[in-house]
Structure 1
Amino acid sequence: MIDGLIKVAAALPRVEVADVAFNTQEIENLMVKAEGKGVEILCFPELSLTAYTCQDLFAQQILLDEAEQALMKLLELSRNLQLVVVVGLPVSHRGLLFNCAAVLQNGKLFGLVPKTYLPNYNEFYESRWFAPSYALQGHEQIRICGQTTIISAQQLFRVNDITFGIEICEDLWAPVPPSNRLAIEGAEIILNLSASNDLVGKTDYVRQLVTGQSARCHCAYLYAGCGFGESTQDLVFGGRAFIAENGHLLEESQQFSLEPQLLIGEIDVELLRSERRTNTSFSQSIAQQVSPSSHIVAELDMVIREQPSLRAYDPLPFVPQGEQLSLRCNEILNIQSLGLAKRLKHTYAHHLVIGISGGLDSTLALLIAVHTFDLLGLDRRGIVGITMPGFGTTDRTYNNALVLMQQLGVTIREIPIAAAVRQHFADIEHDEDLHDVTYENAQARERTQILMDVANQVGGMVLGTGDLSELALGWATYNGDHMSMYAVNASIPKTLVKHLVRWVAENLIEDGCKEVLLDIVDTPISPELLPADSEGQIAQKTEDLVGPYELHDFFLYYTLRYGFRPSKIFNIAVRAFSKTDESRNVSVYSETTIAYWLRVFFRRFFQQQFKRSCLPDAPKVGSCSLSPRGDWRMPSDASAASWVVECDRIVEKCTPVNQEVDL
Structure 2
Amino acid sequence: MAASVHPAGGLITVATCSLNQHALDFDGNLERILRSIKIAKEKGAKLRIGPELEITAYGCQDHFLEGDTQLHSWQVLVKILECEDAYDMVVDVGMPVVHKNVLYNCRIILYQRKILLIRPKMWLANDGNYRELRWFSPWMKHKQTEDFHLPKMIVDVTGQQTVPIGHAVVSTQDTCIGVELCEELFTPAAPHIEMALDGVEIFTNSSGSHHELRKLRTRIDLIKEATLKAGTLPTSLSGGLYLYANQQGCDGDRLYYDGCAFITLNGRVIAQGSQFSLNDVEVVTATVHLQDIRSHRTWSSRSMQAAGHEGAFQRVRAETRLSSEDAEDLIETQVDHEGEFEYNMPEEEVAYGPACWLWDYLRRSGMGGYFVPLSGGIDSCATATIVYSMCRLVAKAAAEGNESVIKDARRIAGEAADSSYVPIDPREFCGRIFHTCYMGTSNSSDETRNRAKGLAEAIGAYHTDLNMDACVAAIHTLFAFVTGKKPEYKVHGGSNAENLALQNIQARLRMLLAYLFAQLLPWVRGKTGALLVLGSANVDEALRGYYTKYDCSAADINPIGSISKVDLKRFIAWAGKAFELPILDDFLNATPTAELEPITKDYVQSDEIDMGMTYEELSIYGRLRKQSKMGPYGMFNKLAIEWGHRLSPTDIADKVKYFFRMHKMTTLTPSYHAEAYSPEDQRFDHRPFLYNTRWAWQFRAIDAKASAMPDRSKKGEANKGDNVQAA
- Could you say which TM-score interval applies, normalised by the shorter chain? 0.3 to 0.5
Bigger Rg over Cα:
1
| TM-score, normalised relative to structure 2 | 0.41
| TM-score, normalised relative to structure 1 | 0.45
